[in-house]
Structure 1
Amino acid sequence: MDSLIIRPLAPREPLPMHLLLLADPSIDMVLSYIDQSHTFIAEQNGKVAGVLVLQPQGNEAEIMNVAVEESLQGKGIGKRLVEFAINLAKQQSIHQLIVYTGNSTLPALALYKRCGFKTESIDKGYFLRNYPEPIFENGMQCTDRIKLRLELKAPA
């Protein structure tokens, strides 16, 4: 894993849409936030391994998308991307980091909890109201959107 680097998406570099769609299955939703966000690429041995999309919003920032190539999941890349987002937010004096995930997105939910995020609210039926096709993950339907928040302290 030492060969993993995280870098900004280069100008005119194509979006890793196949990865973005792993975390958000609606291309319209992805396109609705990508231009107002900062996109970072995780590379391992010169190949794209993951993506992070972070959107600053005043004194807080939202993790819009974190995804890792399916063959590389479970190897700590997602955690490194979330830690990168946390450290970047602290460097930019952002006070809070938020993320939304689905009730059935168990690995992501566990990752955010391990990184210190706390559940703030649950929007029941969000995915039923906002996505035309049902989403199934981990043997269950994704229906509710969970909002998690991490309070950040500025570096000393």
Structure 2
Amino acid sequence: MTLRAATAHDLPAIQEIVEHAYSPYIERMGRPPGPMLDDYVKRIEREQVSVVEVDGRVGGLLVLIDQADHLLLDNIAMHPDFQGRGLGRQLMDFAEAEALRRGFGELRLYTHESMTENIAIYSKLGWEETGRALQAGFQRVFMRKVVSQDT
């Protein structure tokens, strides 16, 4: 397994992962989830995307965006072929380490309220819900996780 910054060469794999990870939610939400609408060319150019590669194949992605007082975990997604191997957990651990490396003591994320499976996973990993609101046309659940050298 290799965790590295995404390059333009990774764009087709990133788009495939996003399609597989989020298309099941279209029916539940009544529209494509936000990550399906994102501009990954710009995200890669801004060095906001990391990928996990296994045996030469991109199996997951992580989008991290610096904010004024926290690191935003904007997207984390695994290709179904790579789910259940602990790679998503490794990406989450990397996000925490990256927040500390960049000088942040807090990670934040948001997800759609209908993505109850994801909310449960985040909660199990120590994230706390901080609110719910309509944002950009989506009913979102906002979560945070305080990180320190001890976590």
Class of the TM-score when normalised by the shorter of the 2 chains: 0.7 to 0.9
Q: Which residue of 2 aligns with 1:121?
A: 131
Write the distance in 2 (CA, Å) between the matches of 1:97 and 1:62. 6
Could you say which residue in structure 1 is the equivalent of 2:58? Answer: 48
From 122, 126, 148, the equivalent of 1:153 is: 148
Kindly tell me: are residues 102 and 58 of structure 1, through their superposed partners in 2, closer, same or farther at Cα, counting changes over 3 Å?
A: same
TM-score, normalised via structure 2 length: 0.76
SS state at 1:59 partner: coil
Q: Helix, strand or coil: the match of 2:81?
A: helix
2:35 counterpart of 1:39: no
Structure 1 vs Structure 2 CA RMSD: 2.5
Give distance in 2, aligned partners of 1:26 and 1:88. Answer: 23
Q: Which runs of 5+ in 2 are unaligned?
A: 23-31
CA displacement at 1:93 relative to structure 2: 1.2
Distance in 2 between residues matched to 1:60 and 1:78, nearest whole Å: 21
State the percentage of identical aligned residues: 22
What SS class does the counterpart of residue 13 from structure 1 fall into? helix
Contact 1:20 1:65 in 2 (8 A): no
Aligned residues: 136
- Please name the residue that 2:38 is paired with: 30
TM-score when scaled to structure 1?
A: 0.74
Structure that is richer in helix per residue: 2
Find the partner of 1:13 among 1, 9, 17.
9
Q: Can you list the C-alpha shifts for 1:28-79, whole angstroms capped at 9, x where unaligned?
A: 7412872556100011111111000000112311111111001222322211
Give me the whole-angstrom Cα distance separating, in 2, the residues matched to 1:37 and 1:62.
14
1:94 aligns with 2:104: yes
